[in-house]
Structures are given as C-alpha cells and as structure tokens.
Chain A
Amino acid sequence: MAKDLLTPKLVSELNRFCPGCGHGLIGKIIAQVLEERGVEDRAIQVYAVGCSCLISTVVQADSIQAQHGRAPAVASGVRRARPDAVVYTYQGDGDAAAIGLSESLYAAYRNENYTAIFVNNGVFGMTGGQMAPTTLEGQKTATSIYGRDTSVTGQPFKLAELVAQMPVAYVERCSLTDAKHIAQTKRAIGKAFDNQLAGKGYSFIEILSPCPTNWKMEPVDAYKRLQDIVAGEYKLGVLKDSEEE
C-alpha cells in the first residue's frame, strides 16, 4: 500500500539509531498505527533506559522517560491520571526482562489498559552489547566472551510466554526479518492499540529486532541471523488472545 511508504508526520527526520538497527523501523510503525487511528495527539509514550530511550527522538509523541525497568509502573500511573490518553511503553529486553521484570509482570497481572512494545535484540545495546536474559545459548557477548553458558546463566528468557500466563488481552511475538514480517508486526501493534482503545486491557507485543553493532555483523547478515537463528528460539505468533478464549 503506497500510503504506508510515506513517513508519518509524527516521525522526526532525525534518527539516532545505528545503521541497520530495528528501533527506527518500529518507531515508524508505531507512528503509522497512531496516525491511522487518529490518536497521535493524545498519545503518551513511556520509555526507559537503554537504546530504546532514543525512541522519543523518532516518535514525537508526548514522552516520559522512566527509570531503568520501571516504564510499566510509570505507565500505570499515567493510565490512571489520564483516562483519555493512548498510553504505551517502549522497552528493550535488558530493561523489561532483567531489571524491570517485576514491573513488567505486575502491569500484565493487573491487566493495565495500555500497550506494551518489547524489543528483543538479545543484548544490552547501549552499554556495549553485554549478555541479556534474552541472549541465545552459546552467543558471544561482552559478558559472555566464550558464548552464553546456560548451565550457569539460565536459558534464554521468554518474556512473552510469561506475560501470556497473565489475565491480559493480547500477546504476540513478531519479527522484523523481512517485508512480510514487518507487515505482520504492524498488524500486531495495530491490534494492541485497538484493544486499548476498546478498553480490553493489556496487550504485549514482542518484536525480534537486529543489533548489527553489538552482534558485530553487517546489517544484511544481522537480518539473516534474525530469521535463521533468533526466530528459531523465539517462536513467532499469537501467544494469547482473550477474544478467542
């Protein structure tokens, strides 16, 4: 669809992400989804700490920067303070699955009526590519130089599966691997916002996204790894849909 190729008004021309990074693309999708529903002027995005914090320079919605990991709790306060706002969180995997796991799960547990965008690139990006809970077995990072030893660190962390155990509206895992998957990511994010607008409660969209810089790969190879390896561990699809239960 030609209109999808236009840059949303909500997106700034400035993009501070590394070449090949998925964050800018996700930001564009969020902006498209908000504009298509005509809710960009009442959107409040809550982001936290890490590369994801640069989202507010891409998506020019009203923005609150939470403490590391606490965006779900900050958004819970915003939800109650502004019943008419369209509220969403934007977090990376270190932020939401490591330091902020408690806040992530309790927001889902309360079925907060907001939309959670969770970007899984398998590393702590901004601090230089350290191991995250989501890092794959054997994956080399700055704090697992011989490859992640799951006998010591535990297995790759499946936050979406955990959230799907909660009484929430919707959970889906998507990927940015190619045009088809990007289109599906947009459909999922759209559904998550539609759920919020209909008052259905908490929707959680995990997006597998490449980090060429910290994976130490060319962008094209990083997208190939995303498809061939990462999506093998983190299965794509709908994990929970309260409408179908």
Chain B
Amino acid sequence: MRRMMKGNDAVSEAAIRAGCRFFSGYPITPQSEIVEYMSWRMDEVGGSFVQSESELSGISMVYGAAACGLRVMGSSSGPGFDLLQEGIGYIVSAELPALIVDVVRYGNGLGEIVPGQSDYWMVVKNGAHGDYHCPVYAPASIQEAVDLVSVAYDKAEQYRNPVIMMYDGAIGQMMEPVVLPEMKEHDPDKFEWSMKGRGGEPQKQITSACYYRHRDPQVYVDNLRTKYRTIEENEQRWESYMADDADLIFVAYGIMSRSCREAITEARKQGLKVGMIRPITLYPYPVKAFETLPENLKGFVSVEMSALGQMVEDVRLAVNGRKPVYNYATGKMIPDTEEFISYMKNVLEGKEESV
C-alpha cells in the first residue's frame, strides 16, 4: 500500500519495521520528527525510547543497547551530529552494528536549519579519531531511504560496524508516496557477542580498547584493513543516468541529484550530451562508476550544497587525473534547470576552471 509520508517519519517507521527496538535522541531541526515519531511508536512495538539530555548521552545509550544485540538507531543534525562522534567512534571500535541518521542542515557551527550537504567531510571522512569508516548511504528519495534502512541494518550486522544514513533536510522534511516493508522480528540473542550476563559461560567483553580486542598489533591492523577493503570491494552503490555517451558527467547525490537529473533531461532535448553519476554509497565511494569513461568525455562536475565543495575531493580521487574535474559548489542553493544548463554550457565552452 502506498501512503504519503514525511521523510523523517518514513525512515523511523522503516527502522521499526526492520526490527529496531531502541532509539535515543535529542531534538534538533531538521531531524526532530524522528525523535517525535520514535517517542510514541517505540512504545507501540514494545521497544524503548529515551529523549536524552544531550547527544553525547543519547549515542551512549544507543551504544549500550547495541552491545546487547538490539537493532538500534540514533539520529541528529549539524551541531548535534558533532556530539555523536565520540559515541560513533566507540561503537565502531567495539565493532557493534547500529544505524545513525544525519539529517543534514547547512553551514558551520550553529549554521542554518535549511537543507545542506556540508556534513560530507564529517560523515564520510570520519568525525571521530582513529582508523575507521562507516558505510554511508545517501538516498535521493523517501522510498529509497526506506529501502536502504533494512539494507543498512543487514550491512551493519554483516560487518559489525555502524552505518550512517545521510540525507539533507529537504528529504527529511518533504512528503512523498512510499511503500513500507513488512514488520520484521530481530533476535538480539542471535549474536555470540551480545551482552545479557555470562550465563555460566566465560566473561564476554564489549570494549573499544585495542589491548582487549586484538593484543597482537598486527592482528589489529589486519582486521581493520580486511574489513574496510571488503566493504570497499563489495558495497559500492550508484546509479548512472545518461552517462554512457556523455561529453560531461555531473556527480551529485541526495536532493541535488534530483534537480540535476531534471536539468540533464532538459539539456539532452537541447542537444547537450550530459549525464550523471549518482553515488548511493558515499563510503565506500563508488569508484567503479568511474572506471570506464565515455570516449568524448570532457570532464566531471561535482555539484553539491556546500560553500567549498567537499565530495569533489572523492571525485578527483576516482577520476585520478584522467579528466578535468569541476567544482560546482552552490552553497545552500539548489540550482534550477536554467542555472544548470548555463553552467554546463560554460564548462563545455571552456569558461569554467577545473580544480
């Protein structure tokens, strides 16, 4: 059954239906609907909700419940997401699965409450210290977000690593028709590591300390390398749109990819051969999408809602000097079709400087 749902509500319901039974969070725009939804919905399904006194505390509660094998979720935005980093780093290091949602708002510090994509560096390149990554899913529609929630939980458990879903405030706040999955039961006791008391067995430890996890330093290194190389090899997701024969390929994710797609469709009608690669995973970055380049390709454009351009660094790494890369960093604005087409023309006519 299709129903109209707000992005944040739909993601919350999808998490519940994937078996999530613990949520702790703190209000912050444009994420607050998740906290509101979970506050009554968890009760209905026999799960637990805590409105925490801070994001620091909230993510710590998520850590505790994750250590007990529950499917758990935390969420925040902007300056609130900064405060989650300590907990995320520990959850990563303790090798526990969890789903963390960043509903991105624009700007630095308190910034603004409007949608943005300026959390890319923090979320994709790690906000906490140490050698780690979190798989990052960047849905472009509410249906895609809902579908990726259960994927995220499966991957989090497969790799014993938290997974982050990052979408901008626009996707969080808007309504779209969506089909929800069936309710799934999750058994917290299915993991040999889940905390419940030792039950006559030897002590189990959930810890992020190297010296308890892998006393041999080389085993520690090998374990991390193997995990993240496996994720990089197997978990890249992207969508290509009219990119096979393009003269110019835009790279865009989330809400920006929707505006970009519309502009490309219109540009094609005008005879401009442009296309798009839409990363669905930001870590691992879909470098495979950049392996085979169209013969006539003149370059790539990273287009994103940030002041400096953040994803453009990953585009450059993926392109690796084979073609020019342009940085269309639009601040908090999403260009309309006309603006996109004018930018395309400028690049194709050599009027834009590559980075």
Q: Which residues of A contact B (CB under 8 A)?
A: 40-44, 46, 53, 56, 60-67, 70, 73-82, 84-86, 102-103, 106
Contacts and interface: CB of A to CB of B under 8 A. Distances in A.
Interface in B239-256: none
A61 B199 CA distance: 10
B197 A78 contact: no
A67 B204 contact: no
B79 interface: no
Given A67-B87, A77-B65, A81-B48, A41 B60 contact: no
Contacts of A65: 94, 205-209, 212
B64 A78 contact: yes
Nearest to B64: A77
Given A65-B205, A66-B63, A103-B60, 20 more contacts: A41-B197, A42-B196, A44-B197, A56-B205, A60-B203, A62-B204, A64-B67, A70-B56, A70-B87, A76-B61, A76-B64, A77-B64, A80-B22, A80-B61, A82-B68, A82-B195, A102-B53, A102-B56, A102-B57, A106-B57
A77 B62 contact: yes
A175 B6 CA distance: 56
B238 interface: no
B343 interface: no
B65 A81 contact: yes
Given A56-B205, A63-B207, A86-B197, A73 B60 contact: yes
Interface size classification for chain B: 35 or more
26 contacts: A42-B196, A43-B198, A56-B207, A62-B196, A62-B203, A63-B203, A64-B63, A65-B212, A66-B63, A66-B64, A67-B90, A76-B50, A76-B61, A77-B50, A77-B60, A77-B66, A78-B68, A81-B48, A82-B195, A82-B196, A84-B197, A86-B197, A102-B53, A102-B57, A103-B57, A106-B57
Interface string B1-28: 0000000000000000000011010000
Interface string B52-78: 111011101111111111101000000
A76 B206 CA distance: 16
B82 interface: no
A103 B58 CA distance: 10
Interface in B174-225: 188, 195-200, 202-209, 212
B235 interface: no
Given A78-B68, A80-B22, A102-B53, A73 B203 contact: no
A232 B24 CA distance: 41
